Amino acid sequence: MAVYEIVKNGDPVLRQKAKPVPEITPNIKKLLDNMRDTMYASRGVGLAAPQIGVSKRVIVVDVGDGLYEIINPEIIESKGVETDIEGCLSIPGVVGEVPRAASVVVKGLNRDGKEVQISAKGFLARAFQHEIDHLEGILFIDRAQNVRREG
Pairing mode of beta strands 103-109, 68-79: antiparallel
Residue with smaller CB distance to Ni ion, 24 or 108: 108
The 145-149 sheet, strands edge to edge: 82-86, 94-100, 145-149
Residue with smaller CB distance to Ni ion, 24 or 52: 52
- Tell me how far apart the alpha carbons of residues 63 and 73 are, in angstroms, rounded to a whole number: 17
Is residue 136 annotated as part of the catalytic site, yes or no? no
18: contact with Ni ion by CB under 5 A: no
Residue with smaller CB distance to Ni ion, 32 or 134: 134
From 11-19, 27-35, 76-84, 88-96, span contacting Ni ion (CB under 5 A): 88-96
List 5, 69, 131, 150, catalytic entry: 131
From 13-21, 33-41, 80-88, 143-151, span contacting Ni ion (CB under 5 A): 80-88
Burial of 117 (0-12, 13-18, 19+ CB in 10 A): exposed
Residue of minimal Cβ distance to Ni ion: 88
Of the candidates 28, 49, 88, 94, which one interacts with Ni ion according to CB under 5 A? 88
- Tell me how far apart the alpha carbons of residues 105 and 77 are, in angstroms, rounded to a whole number: 5
Side-chain-facing half-sphere of 143: CA atoms under 13 Å: 21
Which residues of this chain interact with Ni ion, rule CB under 5 A? 88
Show which residues are catalytic: 131
